[in-house]
Amino acid sequence: MDEGSGIGVSVIIPAYRAQDTIVRAVSSLLAQSFAQWEAVVVSDDGVDYRAVLQAAGIADSRLTFTGTGRVGSGASTARNAGLRCARRPLIASLDADDRFEPDRLARLAPLAAAQGAAADNVAVVRDGDGSPLSILFPPGAGTTTLDAAAFLETSIPMFPVVRRDHVPGWEEGVDFCDDVVFNVQVIDRVGRLPLVLEPLYEYRQREGSITCSADSGTRADLCYRHVLERLAGDGLRIADAALRHRFAAALDAKRALNAAYMAAQAAGRCASFQEFLALRENSLPG
């Protein structure tokens, strides 16, 4: 597998106050069974993450470093800065506090190269003690497909590997649910995605992160309202009118679920949206 085969992967890592987690994220790349990757680490806080990694004994020619030139400009801005530096034909995103399982790129890169994009299952883990919170889909050993309807029912972030010609870039005016918008735009371009049912992406819920903040519900609702306004206006670069309509309906449902989360958070029953989902799932009749 080499760059000429069309399945080399650029992994974009936006880094904001990531000194405590960036080593784990990059170490999960160094452990990949698939070697044809590069990582573009994008500093969004002025920190020299090359030095941070070198202090931990990590130096690899596949690591490149850039920055937004700003502090806290947001994940979308940082990812777009990384995209401009990326050199491989496939694009993946890795949050600086998350990690890949060792076979993730080996499993997803060939599927994405052949079909335009590919996704995998996601395990949600509480960062403080490593305890599992939930898994996006029932785990399995095979591969299925993910369409727009199934994706829009999810409430856990997904991070597909996408062929560069289908990468829309990230909407810099959308600062909370940017991953949802990006994924809908990708589905608009490629249709159904191959979905590996094994959870190969570990999504860490970290105390102090945006999604665990006291105002996360309020920020999410503002984002949903903004996206709804964009859908009604410029359409968010989504060509399929039926998909735009379905996306708007899904956002209305997400707003209702988010309102229930804010009530549960105010009552002290959960500290994050993912904890709320886990509690809700466990309370449903089996």
Percent of the chain with pLDDT over 90: 82
C-alpha to C-alpha distances, 280 to 108, 168, 205, 234, nearest whole angstrom: 31, 34, 17, 35
Of 181, 172, 186, nearest to 68 (Cα)?
Answer: 172
Q: How far apart are CA 253 and CA 258, in angstroms?
A: 9
Q: What is the pLDDT of residues 161-184, one digit of tens each?
A: 999 999 999 999 898 899 999 999
CA-only gyration radius of the chain, Å: 18
Which pLDDT score is estimated for 212?
Answer: 59
Residue given tokens 């009530």 in the structure block? 263
Element (H, E) at 198: strand 193-205
- Would you list the domain boundaries of the chain? 3-210, 211-283
What global pTM score does this model have?
A: 0.92
d(CA 286, CA 280): 12
Q: Six-digit token pair at 274?
A: 């993912």
Tokens for 183, please give them.
């994924």
pLDDT value at residue 73: 96
Residues 160, 37: Cα–Cα separation, whole Å: 15
Q: Please name the amino acid found at residue 51.
A: A
CATH of domain 3-210: 3.90.550.10
pLDDT tens figures, 211-270? 556 688 999 999 999 999 999 999 999 999 999 999 999 999 999 999 999 999 999 998
Query: Distance (Å, rounded) from C-alpha 170 to C-alpha 182?
Result: 6
**Among 258, 155, 172, residue whose Cα is nearest residue 216:** 258
